[in-house]
Amino acid sequence: MAKLFLKGLKLAIIFSVIIITSNSVKAQMECRSMLGAHLTPFKKNIPILWAIEGTMAPGIMTSPFTDSENTTLNGGMVLAALDFTILKKHNIYIEGGYKNWKNSELVDEITNKSRHFGVRQVFYSFEKNTFKIKLGLHETKLGDFYLVDERILGASIDKEFGAFTFNLRGGTVMKNFARMGQFCTNRHLYGILNPDYTENIGKKPGETNLAGFVINWNPNYKKEKINSDDNLNNTDEFSDFSTDDEFSDIEENSDKNKINISNIALLIYNEFGSIIPDHKLYTGLMMEIKLPYEFLIQTGGIYQKLNNNNTIVFIAALGKNIGWNNGSNTMINGAFIGKIDIDENALFQPLFSNLFIGEVMRLDATDFPLWQSEIKHNFSGKLKLHFALKAVGQIKGNKTNEQDIELGFKTFKNHLKLSAILSRVETIAFVKDLYMARLEVRIAF
């Protein structure tokens, strides 16, 4: 009965969504945190904010290799943050904490426990109108190309020029502060096949670096017109009719039924360093298209230029967010990420993508081609209950397939969040299917 239920669940997830979406691709395994949402002033009129967050993550997992007993999981972390704002535009952010964890007994006993203090982020930021900059140790992404989702020691710069937005990223990454390094809550928990997600990242500044540039173009951009008679128009006796015109709804609905390109992005990205034998160059083009009935499609390709590893990765993504009259909403996402090898058996290998799709197996760029799907419903009400079904499948290699169920809610004025996660994994790399159940308790204030 249990096997029939799981097979039915898997089929339901797969057929509910056909291909991946932009949101779905971004729904990878994350260092989940509520810290930023609970930054609170020390006192009124003093521009210093603070927050503390604690996490526990107990769980249990079956062994996929032998008939041995189930193995336990556990992880805990305490984070604290300070946020200083100066003259409303300058900001200094400091975040650090303490972590302890125990992963599965499927890995080396010597490495299955850890306790440490550390710093997660220390950066200066400045924002004025259409210009933003961050300098220091901080988390960053580079557009929607899924090549960078990392914690870097460096700079992130964004600037708008009318219809164009420019994103510039540059810095070094080290093991002790990498996003999937010391201070990711989930990073250590499972450790089934490869527990070290930072094995190729350097230990010293300059050993593994990144630099990238993205140009975004909005074809629908219209320069805002300034009318010298605005003051007169605001007092016009007919001004009240401008927002309540009987034809305004018709015009809005007609726009929803049109197909239009909302963004075109061009990327140039490079990974280099003293322990990276060959400079890795990536170029890409991505398009975001709005479809009728508020569907969103994202598609494009990325070319990897690397000695004996030249390849092209392409993405087809589709999604829709459905809002209901009672205040709840449903997100339906699906995607396919394929690969066309120019060199035989080429491996797509950006160091800092950190997709890690799937709660347990955490499939990444080296596992392409693969598909992913997700259905998530956020209920209305004070508890902010959510329910999600997720699935990811690898087409080649070990043909890993994972299905995840997640149920969670917030209470005590959003200070307490509870999430229950159930997973099933089948793959050629295992003797038998793996099952995992885990509870994540997060408190922030």
Q: What is the distance between the alpha carbons of residues 399 and 397, in angstroms, rounded to a whole number? A: 5
Q: Is the pLDDT of residue 126 over 90?
A: yes
- Flag whether 182 is in a domain: yes
Evaluate the CA torsion angle 359, 361, 366, 371 in order and state its sign: negative
Give yes or no for a contact between 24 and 336, defined as CB atoms under 8 angstroms apart: no
Phi, psi of 396 (to 5 degrees): -120, -165
pLDDT at residue number 230: 47
Strand locations in 239-360, DSSP E? 260-272, 280-291, 295-305, 311-323, 329-341
Question: Is residue 403, in this structure, part of any structural domain at all?
Answer: yes
Q: Cα(171)–Cα(133) distance, rounded to whole angstroms?
A: 13
Judged by DSSP in three states, 230 sits in helix
In angstroms, how far is the first alpha carbon of the chain from the final one? 44
**Two tokens, residue 69:** 């007993």
Q: Which residue has the tokens 């079904």?
A: 389
The alpha carbon of 367 is separated from its chain's Cα centroid by a whole number of angstroms, namely 17
C-alpha span between 442 and 416 (Å, rounded): 6
Q: What is the mean pLDDT of residues 14-33?
A: 41
Q: Which of 275, 279, 281, 316 is nearest to 296 (CA)?
A: 316
pLDDT per position as a tens digit, 86-116: 888 899 999 998 877 666 555 554 444 567 7
Could you tell me which residues are beta bridge partners of residue 204? none
Q: What is the CATH number of the domain that holds 329?
A: 2.40.160.100
Quickly state the pLDDT bin for 369 (edges 50, 70, 90): very high
Q: 119 has which bridge partners?
A: 96
pLDDT value for 119: 86
**Does residue 237 fall inside a structural domain?**
no
Residue-wise burial string across 23-45, b where 16 or more C-beta atoms lie within 10 A, e elsewhere? bbbebbbebebbbeebeeeeeee
pLDDT tens readout for residues 292-342: 988 999 999 999 999 999 999 999 999 999 999 999 999 999 999 999 999
Domain around 21: 2-220+249-444
**Assigned domain for 338 exists:** yes
User: What confidence category does residue 190 fall into, taking pLDDT thresholds of 50, 70 and 90?
Assistant: confident
What is the model's pLDDT at position 197? Answer: 65
Chain length of the chain = 445
Q: Taking Cα atoms as reference points, which of 43, 42, 39, 44 lies closest to residue 93?
A: 39
The DSSP result for 78-129, as a single string, is EEEEEEEEETTTEEEEEEEEEEEEE--TTS-GGGSEEEEEEEEEEEEEEEET
pLDDT score for 363? 87
Looking at residue 218, what is its pLDDT?
95
Distance CA 357, CA 363 (A): 5
For 279, other C-beta atoms within 10 Å of its C-beta total 12
Q: What integer is the mean pLDDT of 53-66? A: 87
DSSP single-letter state for residue 358: S
Q: Does residue 278 have a pLDDT over 60?
A: yes
The answer to whether residue 235 is domain-embedded is: no
Total count of domains within the chain? 1
Closest CA to 114 of 105, 102, 104, 106: 102
CA proximity to 193, closest of 93, 90, 63, 74: 63
φ and ψ at residue 314, rounded to 5 degrees: -125, 150
403 contacts: CB under 8 Å, gap ≥ 6: 6, 9, 10, 13, 389, 390, 391, 423, 424
pLDDT, residue 118, reads 82
Structure tokens at 334: 């699906």
Q: Say how many C-beta atoms besides its own lie within 10 A of residue 405's C-beta.
A: 17
Task: Name the pTM for this structure.
Answer: 0.82
For residue 20, being part of any structural domain is answered with: yes
Rounded to the nearest integer, the mean pLDDT of the chain is 82
